[in-house]
Amino acid sequence: MNEEEQAEAMMAQLFAQARRQFGKAVKSYWMYDGDPCPGCGFPVDVMEYKGQDALSLNAFIYRPRGVLIGYLLCGCCAQRIFQAAEKNPGVQTPLHSVIEQNLTKAYQRYLASLDA
C-alpha cells in the first residue's frame, strides 16, 4: 500500500469514527492534499514520534457542509499542538483557529473548482 492509499484508509477510519460519534452531522470527508502546512505555510514533513518517523494526520468538521476535513501538519506545528495538549488537554489553541480558517478557504476553493 502506497502513502496515498494509506492516507485514504486512515481518513476512512477517521470518518467512520466521526460518524459513530456525531452521527449524520458528518456527511462526507475531504482530504486537503496541498503541500504547505495549513498552520504555518511551510512544507509538511516527517516528524519523530516515540522514536519513529510519523506524519501528523488530523481532521476537523466543517460544520456548514458536514464535511470532515483531513490534513497533515508539519512537525513544528504538530509539536506545538502536542505540547499545548499536554498542558491543557482538550483546549483548542490559536493555532487550531488558523488551521481551520486556512482549510476552510482551501475547501471553498476546491468546491469552486468543481463548478468551473
Mean pLDDT, the chain, integer: 91
Of the pLDDT bands very low, low, confident and very high (cuts 50, 70, 90), residue 45 is confident
Write down the pTM of the prediction.
0.90
Quote the pLDDT of residue 3.
67
With a CB cutoff of 8 Å and minimum separation 6, the contacts of 32 are: 38, 69, 70, 71, 72, 103, 106, 107
**Residue 48: pLDDT above 90?**
no
C-alpha cell at 56: 501528523
**Residue 89: pLDDT above 80?**
yes
**Three-class secondary structure of residue 33 per DSSP:** coil
Any alpha helices (H) in the chain, and if so which ranges? 3-22, 75-87, 94-115
